[in-house]
Every structure is written in structure tokens, then in C-alpha cells.
Amino acid sequence: MTGGIAAYKSVVLARVLMEAGARVTSVLTEAATRFVGPDTFSGLTGIPALTSLWEHPGEVIHVRLAQETDVAIVAPCTANVLAKLANGFADDLLTSTLLEYGGPLVIAPAMHTGMWSNPATENNVRTLVASLGDRLALVGPLEGALAHGDEGIGRMSEPEEIAAAARRALGPLDLEGHQVLVTAGPTYEPIDPVRFLGNRSTGKMGLAIAAEGAARGATVTLVLGPGTIQPPPGIEVVRVSTAQEMHDEVLARSATSDVVVMAAAVADFRPKEVAPGKLKKDDGVPELVLEPTPDIASELGDRKRPGQVIVGFAAETSDVESAGRTKLVQKNLDLVVANLVGSDGTGFGADTNDAAILSAAGDDVSRRSWTKAELARAICDRLVSLLGS
């Protein structure tokens, strides 16, 4: 955000972006803070807003921001900052970050009519267009009410239009029109009203796939187990607890889904009998008799209709690819992501996965280390290919 009266619209823009599933970091110039406060954006986004190169001693903050950003938006963009960007100035956190940044850039100019039509501003716009090419999306300005009761061209575009431009800048909506059903997280199988059998899944992988699918235009439904991280906004979330509940919710929706991605760590077994009251230690060690839970992946494979894509996950501690290949064949799946769990830095709760993508068509991707976001993108790339074929 830069220092214009339209900065109040940036509060709405941050909300719109978050509702679409974005993680929003706010950077304000010193002048912008005269119109909107950084605390507003910190409270809204859950991420501290930034205003200065010197806020985090010992960290090259503008380089970090540039490297972790998928799309940058300057809204509003004043004539002053437009001139700085066109001429490579880097005298504050915003301009330093954008000079370092190499990804798609959305600029929403906002200024009075005379400033927008000034030959210097027109030349700066031409310079930016020529230097950034396809990286640049210029949104607006619009004609309408300006500050001080004036009318004319220079009004900042509406937040929804700016957010739509940011989404287009990220890449093609290659899953648009498709219904994608994703499962994530563990299941908790009750022993008594207090205790349960469960696992260490946090839902990170399934949530990454859901967010990636939604960002690429799919209509995503997320069936989410307990004890998971906060799901991204803008996605329909169905909360479940047990394997049976997950089974029922998935099977009820699978017939209308083009894709089902079973990323959840569903329990294989559950107690055959659930004690009606808390089991007391003084009564001795209880004898737990287990029974299998419903095999959701197998049922989906049996019901798979022509053109539908079913993706499974195989969490293994050894023989990862071999076990994944067996699951792929036995359950009639199109893809299986076979990943190593039980080791540091991979699988449950980690930000990375040591995983292979196994395909019924034989075009496998061998095991390697991925961030969950990278793996989600790779899975969605395969979905696009499979749906197209």
C-alpha cells in the first residue's frame, strides 16, 4: 500500500484475497500509514504488517519477502511510487522488495486526473509496460469520484477486480469447471468417551492440495478430520471425526466429483466395542478388540466412473514405492502418492514430504523431497493431464 486516500480499499482487498485462499503479507509505505494503520492489516490477516527495512535487524527482509511471494499487488499505487518502480528506485521496504522481486506484479494506480494524464506519468507507465512485459498487470484507474469531491479518471479499481487480476497473473485456471473432493487429516476412533486411537496427521498435505485446486479454478470440497490446522478460506469444509464419518461424507459426494484425492490418514482399525464410560486404571488393563474400518479408497475404485480420477496416498515407513504400487493396482486408482512417514522432516506435521507419484499409466515420478506446496502443484498438474485425456 502507498499513501493515497484509496488505501482504505486495501483493507477490503486483503479480506477478498484471504477469502480466495491467499496468505496475505501487508507492506505499507510511511505515507500509507497516514491513511491506514498497520495494526488493521496485522489483525485482519494474522500476519504482522511491515513498514520498514529496519524492523527485523539481522534479516534481509526485502529479499525474504521477494522470494516467498507468489504475486505482488500495489494497491493503491500513487504517481510517486509508479515513478520509483519505473526508474528502479529502492528507498524503502516496498520499492526495495519489488526491485528484488521477479514474479507477477499487479499495479492498481490511484491519483488525481491531472497526475494520471501528466506526460511524466504516462512515460513511467510505458516504461513499466516495456520493462516488465507479461509480468505486469495494470488494473485501472477508473473514472469516478476522487478525493476532495472531484470527478475524473484516477479512481482505484474495486478490490474484487484487483484480486481477479492477481489470480489471472498466477497462471491458467486449468481446473475451472471441475468438482474436486479432497480428504485431509487423521481420524479419531473412540475407545471410550475420553480416549481414542489416532495418528499424527495435521492435514497440511490435504489442505495444500485443496488450496492449489481452488487457486486453479476448481470447486473444492474438503472433508477434514479432527485436530488439524486451520483450513484456507473460500473452500467448503466438511468436518468429520471417525473413519466411518469420513466414509459416509466422501461416498455421498463422490458421484458428483470429477476428482477425489484421498490425502487423509484414515485409521485402518477401530475398537470393536466403545466403552460407555471412561475406562478406569484401577480396573486393570482393558482388552481392546479391533476391527477394520471401511476401505474408502477401495470403494471409490470400485465405483469409479469413466473420466473420473481417483488419487490415493500411501504413508509408509519402509518399502515406500513397492507398497504404493500395490495400493495403486489393488484399489483401481489413477495415482498414488507414496510417502515416507515416521522420520524427521517428512510426512505428518512436517512442511516437506519424501514422496513418489505413482501412476496407473506408468509415468511415475521417483521419490524425492518436496515441499507440500510443490507436491500439491505436481498433483494438480497430473489432474489436469488426466482430466484432459
Give me the residue spans of the domains in the chain: 7-169, 179-388
Cα–Cα distance list, 5 to 32, 77, 78, 150, 161 (Å)? 9, 11, 10, 13, 18
Cα–Cα distance list, 371 to 208, 212, 317, 351, 376 (Å)? 10, 13, 19, 6, 9
Question: Which residue from 103, 83, 84, 101 is spatially nearest to 92, judged by alpha carbons?
Answer: 84
Average pLDDT on 136-143 reads 87
Please give the pLDDT value at position 164.
79
Please give the pLDDT value at position 233.
61
* CA 378, 381, 385, 388 torsion-angle sign: positive
Count the helices and strands in the chain (H runs, E runs). Answer: 13, 17
- Say which residue, 95 or 351, is predicted with more confidence: 95
Please give the pLDDT value at position 145.
77
pLDDT digits (tens, 9 = 90+) for 178-227: 999 999 999 999 999 999 999 999 999 999 899 889 878 899 999 999 98
pLDDT at 20 over 80: no
Residues with a known catalytic role: 199
Q: What is the rounded average pLDDT for all residues in the chain?
A: 91
Residue ranges in 46-158 assigned as alpha helix (H): 61-68, 79-87, 93-100, 113-117, 119-132
Dist CA 263 CA 152 (whole Å)? 52
**SS3 breakdown of the chain: % helix, strand, coil, rounded to 5?**
40, 20, 40
Contact between 336 and 304 (Cβ < 8 Å): no
Dist CA 96 CA 219 (whole Å)? 37
Question: Which residue from 114, 106, 150, 158 is spatially nearest to 132, judged by alpha carbons?
Answer: 106
- Percentage, residues of the chain above pLDDT 70: 99
Please give the pLDDT value at position 389.
66
Q: Could you give the angle at the alpha carbon of 228 between the alpha carbons of 224 and 231, nearest 5°?
A: 65
pLDDT digits (tens, 9 = 90+) for 347-363: 788 888 999 999 999 99
Dist CA 200 CA 131 (whole Å)? 49
Average pLDDT on 273-280 reads 94
Contact between 345 and 372 (Cβ < 8 Å): no
Q: Which residues pair with 217 in a beta bridge?
A: none
Beta strands in 3-92 (DSSP E): 72-77
Supply the DSSP string of 150-180, one letter for each residue. Answer: -EEEEEPPPHHHHHHHHHHHT---TTTT-EE
pLDDT at 57 over 80: no
Contact between 12 and 37 (Cβ < 8 Å): no
Please give the pLDDT value at position 3.
93
Please give the pLDDT value at position 234.
65
Dist CA 249 CA 256 (whole Å)? 12
- Say which residue, 232 or 335, is predicted with more confidence: 335
Average pLDDT on 232-246 reads 90
pLDDT digits (tens, 9 = 90+) for 287-314: 999 999 999 999 999 999 999 999 999 9
CATH fold of the domain at 179-388: Rossmann fold (3.40.50)
Please give the pLDDT value at position 235.
84
> Who contacts 240 (Cβ-Cβ below 8 Å, separation ≥6)?
187, 223, 224, 225, 226, 246, 249
Dist CA 285 CA 262 (whole Å)? 35
CATH fold of the domain at 7-169: Rossmann fold (3.40.50)
Residue 31 is which amino acid? A
Dist CA 372 CA 347 (whole Å)? 9
Contact between 36 and 1 (Cβ < 8 Å): yes
Supply the DSSP string of 305-357, one letter for each residue. Answer: PTT-EEEEEEEESSSHHHHHHHHHHHTT-SEEEEEE-SSTTSSTT-SEEEEEE
pLDDT at 263 over 90: yes
User: Residue 112: helix, strand or coil by DSSP?
Assistant: coil
Q: Which residues pair with 77 in a beta bridge?
A: 109
pLDDT digits (tens, 9 = 90+) for 319-340: 999 999 999 999 999 999 999 9
